[in-house]
Chains A and B, each alone.
Chain A
Amino acid sequence: MTRKHMRWGWLFVSPYIISLLCFTLVPLIISIYYSFTTYDMMRPARWIGLRNYIGTVTKPETWIAFRNVWVYALMLESLQISLACVLAVLLNQKVKGLSVFRVIYYIPGLTPTTATALVWARMYNPRGGVLNTILGFIGLGPFAFTYSGNWVEVIVGIVLMTLWKGVGGATIYLIAGLQAISTDVIEAADIDGASAVKKFFRITVPLLTPTIFFLMITGISGALQVFESFYMLTESTGADVYVVNSRIYSLMWGANPQVGQAAALGWVSFIFVALVTWLQKKYEKKWVHYDA
């Protein structure tokens, strides 16, 4: 085909060029502009230079929000990826009917966070909630989870619900990764008499590192942008635990909008997400094996 004919491609990608301009580039410029102004959506915006950024990084609430979201993201991702690795190996066995399990493990991820949060809040309720009844039965607890005054306990509660929702999705990717591994390696280990645990840590996990890396990159940047589960699970219990996006939400859509501060916090948050993604990419070669 001629070079000239290839120009048809522009027609096909044109909707996305419009999208990039209208829904990405223009909003980005607007956001940068307002982050240097004070604006309440009533009176005209006034240029105040770097003051929003200085205000953002000096406010203790900002750092509490960052601490919370980091604890949440690291707790969630480490639990989710390690659990998903085990599940993927178990679900990848050749047994008839095993796909029923895949459906069961995946389904919570498709349900709305609002609905699951309503249910989990009732299960967490320290006064008669079903989880504490079970924990009490085996001699643990009571744990207040999202009803607790302790921020770590609240985050643990949110992590557990999110883990329940997300582990199936991560598992699906890892199963696809497992199926790409040649069975020769595993069979060789079988002949050498390697134990199941040894095979898992010495062969399966190293060969899955590209998929694990993919899950880490997308998972951590996703977890750092969490909002809905915190909104739902702290709103109903009155727990004062917030993340970066909850701060942006209350700055922008709270009683008196502070557009400039919301935009500035958004950019500070973006810098962190970008930095983390870049760091992960930089140290990728240290532990990810692509030569399987």
Chain B
Amino acid sequence: MPNNNVAVNSAPAAEKIKKPNFFTKRRDYSIWGLIALLLGSVVMLFPFVYAFSASLVSNGLSVYSMKWFAEWEWGNYARVFKEMDFLRYTGNTLLIAALDIIGSILSNTFVGFGFARYDFKGSQTLFFGALCTMFLPGTVMTVPMFLIWSSLGLTDTYVPLVIGCFFGQAMNIFLMRQCFKGLPAGLYEAALIDGAHPLYIYARIYMPLARPMIATLALRAFTGAWNNLFGPLIYITSLNKRTISLALANYNSKYETSGDTQLLMAAAVIAMLPTTVVYAFTQKQFVAGMASAAIKG
């Protein structure tokens, strides 16, 4: 949409037309808009730059009065991995993320395919029920889920954290359903006439075509697992099973009082890095997939 922010009256009737300068020149975009975006992105990037700079100071107190990028103490990062045991926590979190990704892809494509391709009795009701569960507050569910898992003796394991991904989640099912519905239905009928089994049609014909949305699923599962605090906070009690987020929450004030605040900043940078990097490489399909599904409804 061309946005002519600049009110230049081009009618020749005006007696004295000022020669348009850089700001008042007629464009099909708005220069003030671009300046606003630029300023805004400085605000958006500021906390990252601050955290990075503060993670490299040699004295924890100077995160408050630092000269930006005056010191480059890379040893802080080594200390985070060694003293704060972040190598282990990274490994733990990656393990959970990997299980979540596998489970999410298997279950949500499977269920989404069922809702997209089959018009069986009750499918509408079931799908509507799935959408309704999105509005159930998480805490209403976590209280009884915690009781169930602790009666099964499975707290302090990763089972409660990952199992949900293996049976489908409403939002992801919705995304996959939209995706499969967007693919030609004729493919299904043609393959069926050729004698293909429905499972074969799903795995070999529709799955490869849904690859962009599957990438979206994987990315959602990864960021979900990497960023989750509440789950690990209530289920994980052993120190060596902690995830990155849980470790950060536990270290929240400990390193502040010990005067090593710069280590907290380095840990935060490490925690922010993976999702940011993964997104930077996959952003186009990730965003496009999510938004198109939401708009099409």
Contacts and interface: CB of A to CB of B under 8 A. Distances in A.
Contacts of A19: 164, 167-168
Contact of A27 (B54, B65, B148): B148
Kindly state the interface size class of chain A when it binds its partner.
35 or more
Interface stretch (B15-23, B69-77, B287-295): B287-295
A227 interface: yes
A235 B252 contact: yes
Contact of A180 (B230, B234, B245, B295): B295
Contacts of A228: 229-230
Interface residues of B, number: 98
Interface string B22-57: 000000111001101100110111010011001000
B146 to A, nearest CB: 7
Interface in B115-139: 115, 117-121, 123, 126, 129-130, 133, 135-139
A183 interface: yes
A15 B137 contact: no
B133 A101 contact: no
Contacts of A111: 227, 271-272, 275-276
Main secondary structure of the interface of B (DSSP, over half): helix
B41 A105 contact: yes
B36 A34 contact: no
A248 B54 CA distance: 35
Interface stretch (A71-79, A89-97, A135-143, A150-158): A89-97
Q: Which 7 residue pairs spanning A and B have beta carbons closest together? A: A12-B114, A9-B118, A128-B64, A19-B167, A176-B291, A27-B144, A115-B271
Interface of A: 1, 5-13, 15-20, 22-24, 26-28, 30-31, 34, 41, 87, 89-95, 98, 101-108, 110-120, 122-123, 125, 127-130, 164, 168, 172-173, 175-178, 180-181, 183, 186, 190, 195-196, 211, 214, 221, 224-225, 227-228, 231-232, 235-236, 244-245, 248-249, 252-253, 259, 262-263, 266-267, 269-270, 273-274, 277
10 contacts: A16-B107, A22-B167, A23-B141, A41-B147, A107-B44, A119-B51, A164-B43, A176-B294, A211-B295, A267-B140
